Amino acid sequence: MRDRNIFVVGMDEDNQKRLEKLRGAESYRFHGVIEPAEVYDTEIFPIEAMLARADARLNAFHEPIDAIIGYMDFPVSTMLPILCERFGTRSASLESLLKCEHKYWSRLVQQEVMADYIPRFTAFDPFDSQSLQTIGEANLYFPFFVKPIKSSGSRLGFRIESPEDFAHAVEKLCESIGTISEPFNYVMDHANLPDRIRSVDGGHCMAEEIIGGWQCTLEGYVFQGEVVSYGIVDSIRYPQVLSFFHYRYPSRLPASIQAKMQDLTRQIMTHIGYDNAAFNIEYFWDEVQGRIWLLEINTRIAQSHCDLFEKVDGVSHQQVAVDLALGNLPDMPHRQGEFAVAAKFFYRVFFADATVIRVPSSAEVEVLQQAFPGTVIKIQVAPGMRLSSLPEQDSYSYALAYVWMGADSDLALEANYAWLAEQLHFDFTDIAG
């Protein structure tokens, strides 16, 4: 039997190594399509040109193409159905994907089957001077949250406490929303959309009732119509701010709450008609109100969680994406890894801006990694860099480093990271805020 050819959009060296450790990988050949630099650490998404280059790369391959996969948010997630349809490989349909990724359409679909588990919401045009009045007519009052119809990460998301906050957010949205709205509209043009949705294009935004509580991400997939949840990752924020502190796996939510989230997931993904692809859903559990809220649906595995599943379950959940793309029931192990718990930590500063003048050296990073086996540290800045030039940041802080760690308990994990963080030395000048 021949090896299977699997093309990976934006595959870099680290992920290639992880992919080559998957179950069955001895009979797979992984090929990159679209350079990693075009989809990592950038805010420019020339999606039409990227698809053209992907077409050229795939058409020049003179062997069977068995699968095309990705494990990143926009633009990769939205490109996959288009590429897979062109080359006859497996993927969720573009329309079912957009029912998840177009935030307004997604809320409308959710409202049909789980209205008690979503916040009040409305769409608005940030370029319309009457947009705040539009939000008020939808019975949304301060405070509320705004974000683009399609965003990437936490970018351009704002908590609005006052008209002044809204004016500031709208200014930022109008300045930057085009970097995603234009390529997202190109994707929408490939889909069969209801008129109500086509008129709310990528240049629009969402306003939503504030929801909160214990945040988590349910990772799952749909295989031949069956919805499967295989892991829940907790998302822990820094105190009093929206910025993430770390992702922790496995979740410490009560079993009954996890089971209810799994049930809600089956309902919504079946209703959407999403099939033969991976996804994740972000939820809140508001323990005080006794409510579960669905925050958003993402049509991919969470790349940030790959190392966590590898540490705890024994293999990256890229296993799920590959198996589904090949038409197989995912062969995902459970609790067969080296650690009982794992996390991705975000080492942050809360400046308005600054210039970096020193970062930990490679030797310093290596010493810290060796201090705790399995630890991976990725520095995200370099001397001379302005923090405001960092892509994919939230509106309140800058992530200077990502740290993946595993341990035998939550207490050990947090203590180990606290010690490690004290040894990560960055220096700045021209600090603002």
Q: Considering the domain boundaries, does residue 425 fall inside one? A: yes
Are 233 and 386 within 8 A, CB to CB?
A: no
For residue 223, what pLDDT is reported?
98
Pairing state of beta strands 353-358 and 277-286? unpaired
Statement to judge: residues 24 and 80 lie in one domain: yes
Task: Tell whether 352 is covered by a domain.
Answer: yes
- HSE at residue 376, side-chain half, CA atoms within 13 A, is 14
* 129 and 205 together in one domain: yes
Of the candidates 44, 76, 94, which is a domain's last residue?
A: 94
Task: For residues 378 and 413, state if they share a domain.
Answer: yes
Q: What are the distances in angstroms from CA 348 to CA 95, 246, 379?
A: 37, 11, 11
Residues 279-302: pLDDT tens digits?
999 999 999 999 999 999 999 999
Q: Are the beta carbons of 222 and 230 closer than 8 angstroms?
A: no
| Residue 154 pLDDT | 66
pTM summary value: 0.94
Domain presence at residue 279: no
Last residue within a domain, chosen from 79, 94, 109: 94
Is 302 a member of any domain?
no
Distance CA 342, CA 375 (A): 10
- Residues 278, 80 contacting (CB under 8 angstroms): no
Token duo for residue 266: 């089956």
Q: What is the pLDDT of residue 40?
A: 75
CATH of the domain at 374: 3.90.1170
CATH of the domain at 56: 3.40.50.20
Q: What percent of the chain has pLDDT over 90?
A: 90
Report if residue 114 sits inside a domain. Answer: no
The answer to whether residue 238 sits within a structural domain is: no
Q: Which long-range contacts (CB under 8 A, 24 or more apart) does 413-420 make?
A: 413/248, 413/341, 413/342, 413/343, 416/372, 417/246, 417/343, 417/345, 420/368, 420/371, 420/372, 420/375
Final residue of a structural domain among 210, 232, 266: 210
Number of domains in the chain: 3
- 135 occurs within a structural domain: yes
Range of the domain at 33: 4-94
Same domain, 144 and 62: no
The CATH number assigned to the domain holding 167 equals 3.30.1490.20
Q: Which residues of the chain have pLDDT under 50?
A: none
Peptide bond into 75 cis (omega under 30): yes
Q: What is the pLDDT of residues 307-349, one digit of tens each?
A: 999 999 999 999 999 999 999 999 999 999 999 999 999 999 9
273 part of a folded domain: no
Q: Is the dihedral of CA 312, 26, 276, 65 positive or negative?
A: positive
